[in-house]
Amino acid sequence: MDVRNCVRCGKIFNYITGYPICADCKKELEQKFAEVKQYLRENPHSSIQEVADANQVDIRQIKQWIREERITFAEDSMVGIECERCGTTIRTGRFCAKCKSEMAGNLESFTQSATPAESPLKSSLPPQTEEDRLRFRR
């Protein structure tokens, strides 16, 4: 059992996984998220600052929701955050499409080169008969 202090209110709670906040703060954040989401439905061309001011939510929290892809602004909105890899302006997520495809390609090439070849020890052993493989002989 991992006991920690909530980073928002300081209350001690039983930490399981994720962001280290207590259940009360998590519930409050989810309510704020629902308010922000509703505000964006009604005002799709708002800036991050306008959304933060109208809903009493920190700008960093709104950017976190954007990075988690929980919030997406309108196509023609001027709102954007930077790709964590190259700095290009993006609307949601952590990486731009170019960086995502490059990283996926790198990962794919890594997994292909890491396929294990047949071990030399295994190929030098004589084949086993069924009797050799039985744990208890009859």
Domain ranges, ordered by start, for the chain: 23-111
Please give the Cα distance from 138 to 132 (Å, whole number): 12
Q: Tell me if 30 sits within 8 A of 39, measured CB to CB.
A: no
Look at residue 2 and give its three-state secondary structure: strand
Cβ-Cβ contacts under 8 Å for 45 (sequence gap 6 or more): 74, 76, 77
Look at residue 73 in the predicted model and tell me its pLDDT: 79
Instruction: Take residue 16 and report the two structure tokens written for it.
Output: 């399981």
- Mean per-residue pLDDT of the chain: 85
Residue 119 has pLDDT above 60, yes or no: no
Residue type, 66: I
For the residues 30-43, what does the mean pLDDT come to?
Answer: 95
Average the pLDDT over each of 47-61, 67-81, 84-98 and give the range with the smallest value. Answer: 67-81
Confidence of residue 28 (pLDDT cuts 50, 70, 90): very high
For the residues 80-95, what does the mean pLDDT come to?
Answer: 90
Bridge partners of 90?
81
Look at residue 109 in the predicted model and tell me its pLDDT: 83
